[in-house]
Structure 1
Amino acid sequence: MKHCYVLGMLCLVLASCKKEAQPELTEHQHNSAVAAIHTESTQLLTEGLETGSKGAYASASVTLGSGSWTLDEALIGNSAADVKSGSQSARIRNTGSLSMNFNITAGDSTTIKIDHAKYGSDASSTWQLWISTNGGTSYTQVGSTITTSSSTLQTATFQVTNTGNIRLSVRKISGGTNRINIDNISVSTGTGGGTNPGGGTAGDDSHLLLGNPNGAVANITSPNNYLMDQTYYTIAYNRDRGTPNWVSWHIQSSDIGSTPRTNDFRADSALPSGWYQVQNSSYSGSGFDRGHNCPSGDRTSSTAANSSTFLMTNMIPQAPNNNQQTWEGLESYTRSLVSAGNEVYVIAGSYGTGGTGSNGGVTNTINNGNVTVPSNVWKIIVVLPNGNNDISRITSTTRVIAINTPNTNTINSDWKTYRTSVNSIETATGYSFFASIPATIRTALKQNVDNQ
């Protein structure tokens, strides 16, 4: 995770290129480095409108992926005329609004991004962003009034100087019965400061550079979407399932070395006090492998890097043939892309309940119900030639590989069989990917199915 950046800050060692290998960090260096990385950008909220349903304009609250929102003169639209990056977006008419019923905690230099477009063939409308700092008692407008005149998603960006608890309200203020679509609401906070010896934008090589798909937070009040920085990858852990919702990481040539596989599967002692810790032996006799999300083979630059991948918070119960054949093939192919002069951003996860392992029959849970067996395992890979300023280099033709496999032992060994679109994975999971990528590019990337 940006070792050149970290060592450049902490040790002032030579870092002439962001892609070169660096020695391991001391514990003090690591702790300081993590703090420095976190000051760049922390995702507070990501709402892609992919979960929840509301088919009428009458005011009502609906539970979305990030929490409860009130939609007044607004609904969740999924028709062909609704402009959206996944399968749904909010549709607002008259002087309707879309408002949070919960708080998020803003910090220095908070950035809010909202995608918007005209619905169908409707004429232009205008809208505003308002925020409340007192739990919804009163609101203040943020930034300027936005005109929605395009039939494709555009991104409006707002800067907030308030710190502490805030909640958002998107308010349509003109255009009468003309409707607008709102999608992909994201809130991030951080100073964006620090030094980047490689010359790229702040955040290059960060595991969450492309976004936080479901707004995971490092707060024990969110036990089933708990953000954990594992240094060599980042996860959104689900306490009740005993597995991660997703794991996100970056791979470059310096991550691939000659360190042998450590095989030190172990419980993750960094979980909050009182949470059940899945053990090394928890999958024994279940008929399922301890399936890595971030693979051991992607972290062979050092013993510490490889060992980190054997934490049980990085594992799911994976059908042996799914793990050892289909996914091994995709993982090896991904590393071959890195060897060929590319860097890749990867996010992998699972969803659903019920898989079929080597014991036969569908199994819903193992380890006395402490670990849920997923029905599906998915992965998204964004491929870039080595370079800097990664976000700015992503275009509508950037290669994106997305696959979604059943968690069964009768799976086809060829991963290419299971290629799909990012939109399809969003529909299945309710997540919203690529929040950091401009709207027009993001829309194109999500709908493509890789065929290389």
Structure 2
Amino acid sequence: MKNKFLLLNVLAASLIFTSCKKEEALPVDSTTPFAAGAKSTQAISQTFIETFESGTKTAYAVGSVSLTSGSWTLDNALIGSLSGDAKNGSQSVRITSTGTLGMNFDVSTGASTVTAQYATYGSDGASSFQLWVSANGGSTYSQVGSTISVSSHTLNTATFTVNQSGSLRFQIRKVSGGSNRINIDDVTVNSYDSGSTGGGTGSVGDNTNLLMGNPSSAVNNTSYPANYLIDQTYYIESYNRDRGTPNWVSWYLGSSSLGSTDRLNNFRADTNLPAGWYEVQGTDYSGSGFDRGHNCPSADRTSSTAANSATFLMDNMIPQAPNNNQKTWANMENYLRSLVTSGNEVYIVMGSYGTGGTGTNGYATTVASGNVNVPSNVWKVAVVIPDGNNDINRVTTTTRVIAVNTPNNNSINSDWTQYKCTVRSIESATGYNILSALPQSVQDAVETKVDNQ
């Protein structure tokens, strides 16, 4: 069975999910099954994921069911466990007609984003659904984000930007497709953080993916396609539409990141990119002589199936010379994980820059018919601190910071320590401010020396 677990840490979040199909929003009203009659005084204050594994509801008729997170009402919906139900684990919600799935309780800490996994049931045809939010205990609702089209039986993840404080509750409404059925699984509410800056740079709390700063001041605005902020829940990135790769990816690595989930190898396009943007396909690097090189590694996200799956989105990849990827970087990744298992937590930023690398087929500047740039250099910065709390304030002038910058070629030395450098040298090459959340005096100390351990 695939791993599912309760998330207790606040995840960084802010992503605009753009669907290729938009439909007119339903009017805000108080006549839905989740209005005044379904109010509850229960409230939760932590970020959570509802996996729908604990409850039972076998009929489509409207009714409430007690789940791990609280009471939910399902109308024209049930909890399915058949082979046709797309699911992580043994159960997911199955919705038909214009059915709804809604919370009968409030999240007292607001929400930055809400994510939900979705797919068609069995071989059913296409449908669509929406996310709606209520800030008054379910009396009225308003739509959040875009209408999501569902046409595949493979689970995908929709991320809705909420960025709203206060007590909130959510519902999912199936709005088209008639008797076609959809599955919904793993609904995650990420708590709102008023300390977030830069129009969606992520939470500033411990164990969050952008704690050390937003290196390029990326924003989730399509007016900035070369520096477009995407929160993939398990890592955050600045994506470059025209290069077809991330500029950088930032993530937290701690004991909670590691578990027993197997590597999924489900390389795939990110269908959540803005409409009209090229979606790099899982097969686009085939025959190029370059690996699909992870930025955030699969082995850094083994705590759950959802976490590991997120690392195989193609906008977490770069065309990376095989020896660079499989030897030099793999060795460094293994080393950083060993630091975690020995009692540390690590904040990591990885990126690439330049054009032109050398793979097994020789030198190339692009792959995927010119849609993906081959970088000339691949770099990483890791901030290492002992396990503890109040992480940002525990980074001092003596904190260990490891910076590495490697050429993207196949004749690279497998010893990653041969490519240690200063953070400032990477900043000079990229124009980024990589550890921007740290006090300037701390930056000046840790960014100007080469790690010697």
Letter of the 2:328 counterpart: T
CA distance in 1, matches of 2:431, 2:195: 29
Q: In the alignment, does 2:416 pair up with 1:379?
A: no
Partner of 2:195: 192
Aligned residues of 1:2 and 1:204 also touching (Cα < 8 A):
no
CA distance in 2, matches of 1:431, 1:317: 21
Letter of the 1:236 counterpart: S
Partner of 1:294: 296
Partner of 1:100: none
Secondary structure, aligned partner of 1:417? helix
Larger RCO: 1 or 2 (CA < 8 Å, sep 6+)? 1
Partner of 1:4: 8
Deviations 1:174-210 (A, max 9, x none): xxxxxxxxxxxxxxx96239xxxxxxx9511111111
Task: Give the counterpart of 1:226 among 213, 224, 228.
Answer: 228
Partner of 2:440: 439
How much does 1:227 deviate? 0.3
Aligned residues: 288
Q: In the alignment, does 2:99 pair up with 1:36?
A: no
CA distance in 2, matches of 1:340, 1:205: 17
Aligned residues of 1:239 and 1:276 also touching (Cα < 8 A):
yes
Change (3 A) 1:435 1:35: farther
Partner of 2:261: 259
- Give aligned-pair identity as a percent: 59
CA distance in 2, matches of 1:378, 1:311: 20
Change (3 A) 1:242 1:388: same
CA distance in 1, matches of 2:452, 2:297: 24
CA distance in 2, matches of 1:243, 1:33: 37
Aligned residues of 1:2 and 1:205 also touching (Cα < 8 A):
no
Aligned residues of 2:422 and 2:449 also touching (Cα < 8 A):
yes
Aligned residues of 1:38 and 1:190 also touching (Cα < 8 A):
no
Secondary structure, aligned partner of 2:46? helix
How much does 1:35 deviate? 6.9
Higher helix share: 1
Q: In the alignment, does 2:398 pair up with 1:394?
A: no
Letter of the 1:311 counterpart: L
Partner of 2:287: 285
Change (3 A) 1:364 1:221: same
CA distance in 1, matches of 2:311, 2:224: 23
How much does 1:436 deviate? 1.2
How much does 1:434 deviate? 1.4
Deviations 1:345-395 (A, max 9, x none): 0000000000000112x2001111000000000000000101110111011
Deviating above 4 A after TM superposition, structure 1's stretches of 4 or more consecutive aligned residues are 10-13, 22-29, 32-35
Secondary structure, aligned partner of 1:259? coil
Q: In the alignment, does 2:245 pair up with 1:243?
A: yes
Aligned residues of 1:341 and 1:386 also touching (Cα < 8 A):
yes
CA distance in 2, matches of 1:12, 1:242: 31
Deviations 1:146-195 (A, max 9, x none): xxxxxxxxxxxxxxxxxxxxxxxxxxxxxxxxxxxxxxxxxxx96239xx
How much does 1:3 deviate? 3.0
Task: Give the counterpart of 1:336 among 319, 335, 338.
Answer: 338
Change (3 A) 1:444 1:366: same
Normalised TM-score (structure 2): 0.59
Q: Which runs of 5+ in 1 are unaligned?
A: 14-21, 40-106, 110-188, 194-200
Normalised TM-score (structure 1): 0.59
Partner of 2:357: 355
Partner of 2:278: 276
Aligned residues of 2:8 and 2:47 also touching (Cα < 8 A):
no
Aligned residues of 2:204 and 2:210 also touching (Cα < 8 A):
no
Letter of the 1:9 counterpart: Q
Change (3 A) 1:11 1:247: closer
CA distance in 2, matches of 1:33, 1:376: 45
How much does 1:448 deviate? 1.2
Deviations 1:387-443 (A, max 9, x none): 110111011010000000000000000000000000000000010121111111111
Letter of the 1:407 counterpart: N
Computed over aligned residues only, the root mean square deviation of the Cα atoms, in angstroms, reads: 3.2
Aligned residues of 1:355 and 1:408 also touching (Cα < 8 A):
yes
Secondary structure, aligned partner of 1:228? strand
CA distance in 1, matches of 2:112, 2:210: 11
